[in-house]
Structure 1
């Protein structure tokens, strides 16, 4: 079993706040991130599989790139996640929630069983990794 990773970048803004909480409670929980701000994200999409004898590849990285662009980058790049993306209308766009939403979007588009791991960097110091194992 081999693992192959495609890296992509996108920018978007968000506010970490719960609608049912007042400003004070949101600030207590989320700090400065309860205000509108943005990030330059890096997303690593890792697929798994065996080498196809005919092509010599697990999957064509161009195919992975097209799927990532279609399902994630073209949808959220330069948006406000809270107001522009229905998946985050009633969900706080934390790293945790973002990576799980992205997993759902990609798992439906990639060949069955190939999505192995997502790594989402919010900053050079903050990242999350997600697998279903």
Structure 2
């Protein structure tokens, strides 16, 4: 039986700030411009998750779409949607907040 790929896309909005503690405030502003706003700036993101598998002969599905939607909501969207990634999302708190 062939493998089937199924992709689900979800969107969310979050804010963050590009800032390097190795630079002065003036240097940060010159490099990152509006992305260095001390209150952050926002983006709309799209996350796509692809699962693969064989079609279940009983259900006709590769996976239960309702279960996939619930997992994405609980494991990703509830953590990042309408949040400041730098301040409110534990995964990002100890990660670099800048690109150099």
TM-score range, shorter-chain basis? 0.7 to 0.9
CA distance in 2, matches of 1:48, 1:80: 32
CA distance in 1, matches of 2:84, 2:65: 28
Distance 1:54 1:61, change over 3 A: same
Q: Report if aligned partners of 1:16, 1:92 keep a CA contact under 8 Å in 2.
A: no
| TM-score, normalised relative to structure 1 | 0.61
Aligned residue number for residue 85 of structure 1: 89
Distance 1:43 1:88, change over 3 A: same
Q: 1:43 aligns with which of 20, 23, 47?
A: 47
**Aligned positions of 1:50-129 closer than 5 A:** 50-92=54-96
User: What count of residue pairs does the alignment treat as equivalent?
Assistant: 94
Structure number with the bigger relative contact order (C-alpha 8 A, sep ≥ 6) is 2
| TM-score, normalised relative to structure 2 | 0.78
> Please, which runs of 5 or more residues in structure 2 have no aligned partner?
none
- In the TM superposition, residue 59 of structure 1 has moved relative to its aligned partner by 0.5
> Please, which runs of 5 or more residues in structure 1 have no aligned partner?
95-133
CA distance in 2, matches of 1:27, 1:49: 48
